[in-house]
Amino acid sequence: MQNLSASAGKSGEKPVIVLMASCLLGPAAWDPVACHLRTLGWDVVIAPDEGFAPSTPQEAAIAYAAAVPSDYPVILVPHSNAGSFIPALIASRNISSVVFVDAVVPVESGTQRIVPAALVAALESLTNESGMVPPWTTWFDEADVAALFPSPATRSLIEAKQPTLPIGFLLGQLEIEAGWNETPSGYLAFGSTYAEEQSRAEAEGWPVATLDGRHLHMLIDPERVASEIIALARS
């Protein structure tokens, strides 16, 4: 776990911000936002660790929990499908609030898929003889993927650290206990990719903000994304 300042989480002090990366992409996508938050005086952890490639959703849940401080209050900030793991962390850690960032909002209770049912057939067709699925950025049209990154250099950096995952992880499920959505939460959307999730957040009465961008907008404008995360956490 990254080192935290001596004052992190003390009464009256700022909680620790845990930036949760999708297991499909890896933690490097959060680095620019983490850098900016630290310059503003926040203690920040990025989870899971670089290079982590879970075999099952349950293994991923354990890895996220291991990265979240157990002795400090925490603001969880999941991106993309990292949102699926929020209920397990709320059940096991001192979570003061959650800010979903262009992320999955889990079901209130019951079965939570790691990938949407509509994507399963496409992923199965990509799976090799060893049961591995190619990296996430190869799943989509080249033009759409290129538009996610601020530069070819940034794309190369992120893709070099992107994990290759087994189809078993992607087809896996989590069982969600009721009550997790009683934790104060907010939603930051990048454009309309997660419009359905944003609507759910609004229906829950959460504070919601939208930035005009694509799914990896935290690489395009990390300062604005960091500011919106702080504003939503405070609201």
Average of pLDDT values for 21-49?
A: 95
Task: Please answer whether residues 54 and 23 qualify as being in contact, where contact means their C-beta atoms are separated by less than 8 angstroms.
Answer: yes
Q: What is the DSSP string of 74-110?
A: EEEEEEEGGGGGHHHHHHHS-EEEEEEEEEPPPPSSE
Q: Is the pLDDT of residue 1 over 70?
A: no
pLDDT at residue 13, as a whole number: 66
Which residue in the block uniquely carries the two structure tokens 């002795």? Answer: 71
- Cβ within 8 Å of residue 142, ≥6 positions away: none
Percent of the chain's residues with pLDDT above 70: 94
CB atoms within 10 A of CB 215: 22
In whole angstroms, what is the distance from residue 183 CA to residue 205 CA?
A: 12
Average of pLDDT values for 7-23?
A: 76
Indicate the pLDDT class of residue 127, thresholds 50, 70 and 90. very high
Percent of the chain's residues with pLDDT above 90: 85
DSSP 66: H
In whole angstroms, what is the distance from residue 20 CA to residue 100 CA?
A: 10
Indicate the pLDDT class of residue 49, thresholds 50, 70 and 90. confident
- Do the strands 208-211 and 185-190 form a parallel or antiparallel pair, or are they unpaired? parallel
Q: What is the DSSP string of 103-138?
A: EPPPPSSEEEESS-HHHHHHHHHH--TTSEEPPGGG
pLDDT, tens digit, for every residue of 180-230? Answer: 999 999 999 999 989 999 999 999 999 999 999 999 999 999 999 999 999
